[in-house]
Chains A and B, each alone.
Chain A
Amino acid sequence: MRIWLNDQPIVFVPGMKVRQALIQADLVQEIEKGARVFDEWGNEVGLDGALEDEMRYVLKSGA
């Protein structure tokens, strides 16, 4: 299964959450700076939210 985070493909397995995708993309530290994750329809998602196959997520800076 695969998602996209900032256009970068990330393979995941069922059970993985947004937080693990951020770790894979080495972006988790951005959250501490206030960045937030949005799904492909522009809805914010929580870090413990389940990943969905082929979903495109975007990390937006908190600045």
Chain B
Amino acid sequence: MAATDASSFDRRPWILLGPALSAVTFLLIIPIGFITVYSFWLRTAIGDEQIGFHLDNWQLVLTDPFYRDILVQTIRIAAVSTLLCIVLGYVPAYFIAYSDTRHKLLLILLLMLPFWISYIIRTMSWINILGTSGALNTVLLWIGIIDAPLRMLYNEATVVAGLVHFLLPFMVLNIYVSLDGIDRNLTAAAQSLGCNGWQAFREVTLPLSLPGLAAGSLLCFVLAAGTYITPMILGGPRNAMFANLVFETIITQLNWPLGSALSLVLLILLGAVVMAYTRYLGIDQIAKSFR
């Protein structure tokens, strides 16, 4: 022991890290570097790759209105889904944090349960709810509100519904953690100083829960913006998102250099969102230390 401790270079951590580090290097870092280089290559008409430094892929991706429209649509769908998650998720999180039921743990456990239920099953379950022979149409027909089944599936709204269903637990958990950490005396103090319940919430509880709200929103937005399965199952032909483009380009059209450029656009966009968030949190952290 003593001998190895005395030596200036300790090999042990590197031996332990070796396998994982080489996995991350060869299966993640180098591949991402590779597609960066690859995105400047060209795919010729006969299906060969032309090695070199060509800006064609990037020019196409950044200027073609087709790609721009789908990028805008992706951001819109992800933003709307995130917003709906906030609206639907805040109240349950508040309920779990502040209720005095004995079933608090059960409520939290139920919230974690969807993480374990297959994503594709949860997504396709909406076909059973909103489809022409789904639960909602059956109920509406039975009550007599409608005479023929409504067509509710395969549009942007169902894509958003599927995404919200998938993302809501992330949001509720993040907000809950944040609410649970708030000192209860603060609201009591606000109320004793003359705030009513709503004012105390708006002035004290809501601002203090913002970090959780922000973390949940980041997670929801990033996960939503990177999905292609949900639009494929619940969307129509016009509801493709950016990741669908990547999938189409790589798997169907086999245009790998263009697909590389497209996936880098997604990486840069979502990377910028994450970066902006850490920057904001950094500032928040500093503010906290002054309190």
Whether chains A and B associate is no
Which A residues lie at the B interface, using CB under 8 A? none
Which B residues lie at the A interface, using CB under 8 A? none
